Copies of this chain bind each other. A is one copy, B any other.
Amino acid sequence: MCLTACMRTSEIFDLLRDGRARTRSELARESGLARSSVALHIDTLMSVGYVAPVGDAASTGGRRASLFALNPSARLVVGVDVGATHVIVELADLGGTGIAASRAELDVAEGPEAVLGWIAEAVRSLVAQQQRSLDDVVAVGIGLPGPVEHATGRPISPPIMPGWHRFDVAEWLRERLGCPVLVDNDVNIMALGEQRTAWPDTEDLVLVKVATGIGAGIISGGRLQRGARGTAGDLGHVRVPGSTAPCRCGNEGCLEAVAAGPAIAARLRELGVHATSTGEVVALAAQGSLEAAQVLRDAGRAIGEVLAMVVNLVNPSVIVVGGRLAGAANELHAGISEVVYRRSLPLATEHLRIAASETKGDAGVRGAVVLAIEHALSPDVLDAELLALSRPDQPVVMR
């Protein structure tokens, strides 16, 4: 049997990945194949369930053409956002639409088996609630609050995750859920979520998360930049010009020691305002505290200094500011914009936009869902699945 059988099928499917409905003729034009060949592939894709007819197109003077589109409910994916003190598990369809979610206040320091155990149980129960089978779940994406070696799915020396160093998260969950598991850093995943949902036409985006820590996810040329060891985008310990504040990392003048939640709270206490946590800073800003506004604007300026370098270095078209501190405070955004536009090269800022996160606290899970979907629907994986379905007797071999 010809092994290239389903090759072009995944090519056709790739065109439908954006969710838009298309006629057979449109697909033929876009793929370069003949209409008759496209029809054959569409039949294959419909028999697997990944594609479904969605009515007819308007007539252009003759018979109406039938429209086909990705069938989001064909399979399920799971997105998981693990924070320092919470875990969110969301069940979603292939279009990225959330179907059901679970949340637990769980300390990541309790260790991998406790956290991942809860996640596995949550997935099983969400799937059961929807009266679907675990076999329908084709991939799991998961974001962790620390450095992750994406290729192997293991955290590497994560500061706030004791017991997780080199733990094989991907394999542990795969054994229990029976599908591929993609692991990445939480900020990377937020960047992915933000880019795919709010900025689909932007190929170069930087997401800055400002909360108890500060980090960035960099998407360049449409691809997430992870670097050699998966630690790319670590803004928190970049030195801010003009600051000598001591940082827990041992160096001084780090951005995190100046502009992250704890540093802002400390600064407010110096001004005589009671604030001990990131949450309280957010609350003060929401109440309109003048001191909070002032300190947040200064923090924004410090972040802006560092982002100005990022702009010169990476040349993004959009910077998205996210994280708990960004949501509550326009001052942070104002401080950032002020410095970035002054300190970066004119050529790099000419078409640069600095925007607030669109997904309200949701970017992490959204990104995890995207990570899972993009793996499950990638040509390689789809080819293997189509091959397996066309020959149920043969074992699945991944090349």
Chain A: residues with CB nearer than 8 A to chain B? 3, 32, 147, 156-157, 203-204, 216, 218, 220-221, 223, 225-235, 237-242, 249, 251, 253, 305-306, 308-310, 312-317, 342-343, 345, 347-348, 350-351, 399
Contacts and interface: CB of A to CB of B under 8 A. Distances in A.
Q: Give chain A's interface secondary structure class.
A: loop
Interface centre among A147, A226, A230, A347 (most CB of B within 10 A): A347
B229 A221 contact: no
A227 B399 contact: no
Which A-B residue pairs are the 4 nearest by beta carbons?
Answer: A227-B315, A228-B317, A232-B315, A204-B228
Contact of A227 (B231, B238, B314): B314
Contacts of A241: 239-242, 253
Nearest to A234: B312
Contact of A315 (B157, B220, B229, B251): B229
A348 B234 contact: yes
Contact of A221 (B226, B343, B351): B226
Contact of A399 (B32, B309, B342, B351): B32
B239 A227 contact: no
Nearest to A240: B241
Given A238-B312, A309-B238, A203 B231 contact: no
A215 to B, nearest CB: 10
A348 B231 contact: yes
B305 A235 contact: no
A234 B311 CA distance: 9
Contacts of A309: 238-239, 306, 309, 313
Contact of A235 (B147, B312, B342, B348): B312
A225 B3 contact: no
Interface centre among A156, A204, A229 (most CB of B within 10 A): A229
A77 to B, nearest CB: 24
A310 B218 CA distance: 13
Contacts of A216: 313
A232 B219 CA distance: 13
A225 B230 contact: no
A316 B239 contact: no
A233 B313 contact: yes
A182 B156 CA distance: 40
21 contacts: A32-B399, A157-B347, A220-B220, A221-B223, A221-B226, A225-B314, A227-B348, A228-B317, A228-B351, A229-B315, A231-B345, A231-B347, A231-B348, A234-B312, A235-B313, A238-B308, A238-B312, A239-B305, A241-B253, A251-B343, A313-B313
Contact of A313 (B249, B310, B347): B310
A225 B232 CA distance: 14
Given A225-B221, A347-B156, A313 B232 contact: yes
Nearest to A315: B227
Contacts of A156: 347
